[in-house]
């Protein structure tokens, strides 16, 4: 058998990462047929029948993937080589949109992320407080109330009497409830 009798073809010579190529071959009177795929990162060898076709997805490549068909006969061994240019997948720039499909500005995205983090934080705090005994839950509520009172009084001193009165009423309510 001569090298000219071996047919080795591929349907595409240029593809984008992830595309599928189909090869076909005919090697009459061959003892063995071996296909080697080399994408620049890894070589893979596949034993083939004397004729047929096969499809491959070219996911990763250093620019070119080489396919080598090695044919062994009783007299000699020879090979045919094909190359496929593999282009990188284009980078897609994603934009964040709201529920109406409008593009969101950086400030709105920042605000949503901040609110999500605050929600996560408060949920964790609530879960940890709920796991405490009832007396300690009350202490946490009091400390939180006093802390908010101090912050508000520093910002707006006129609200001091109102908040202090509300806190006293709340504490009396808790004491008289039992």
Q: What is the CATH number of the domain that holds 62?
A: 2.60.40.10
Average pLDDT over residues 146-162: 78
Q: What are phi and psi of 137, to 5 degrees?
A: -60, -40
Q: Is residue 108 assigned to a domain? A: no
Same domain, 136 and 73: no
Q: Is residue 98 assigned to a domain? A: no
Q: How many domains, in total, are found in the chain?
A: 2
Given a cut of 80, whether residue 35 has pLDDT beyond it is yes
Burial 110-135 (b: 16+ CB within 10 A, else e): eeeeeeeeeeeeeeeeeeeeeeeeee
User: What are the tens digits of pLDDT across the range 50-107?
Assistant: 999 999 898 888 889 999 999 998 888 888 999 999 998 877 777 777 777 777 778 8
Structural domain containing residue 49: 3-87
Same domain, 124 and 50: no
User: What are the tens digits of pLDDT across the range 96-152?
Assistant: 777 777 777 788 888 888 999 999 998 898 888 888 888 888 888 888 888 887 887
Whole-prediction pTM:
0.51
Q: Is residue 38 assigned to a domain? A: yes
């Amino acid at each position: 058998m001569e090298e000219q009798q071996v047919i080795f073809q591929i349907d595409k010579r240029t593809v984008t990462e992830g595309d599928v190529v189909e090869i076909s071959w005919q090697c009459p009177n061959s003892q063995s047929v071996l296909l080697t795929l080399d994408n620049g990162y890894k070589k893979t060898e596949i034993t083939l029948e004397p004729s047929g076709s096969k499809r491959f997805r070219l996911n990763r490549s250093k620019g070119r993937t080489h396919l080598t068909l090695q044919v062994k006969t009783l007299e000699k061994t020879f090979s045919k080589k094909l190359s496929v240019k593999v282009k990188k997948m284009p980078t897609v720039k994603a934009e964040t949109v709201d529920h109406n499909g409008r593009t969101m500005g950086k400030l709105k995205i920042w605000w949503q992320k901040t609110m999500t983090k605050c929600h996560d934080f408060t949920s964790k705090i609530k879960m940890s407080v709920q796991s405490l005994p009832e007396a300690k839950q009350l202490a946490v509520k009091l400390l939180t109330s006093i802390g908010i009172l101090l912050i508000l009084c520093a910002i707006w001193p006129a609200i001091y009497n109102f908040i202090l009165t509300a806190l006293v009423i709340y504490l009396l309510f808790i004491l008289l409830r039992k």
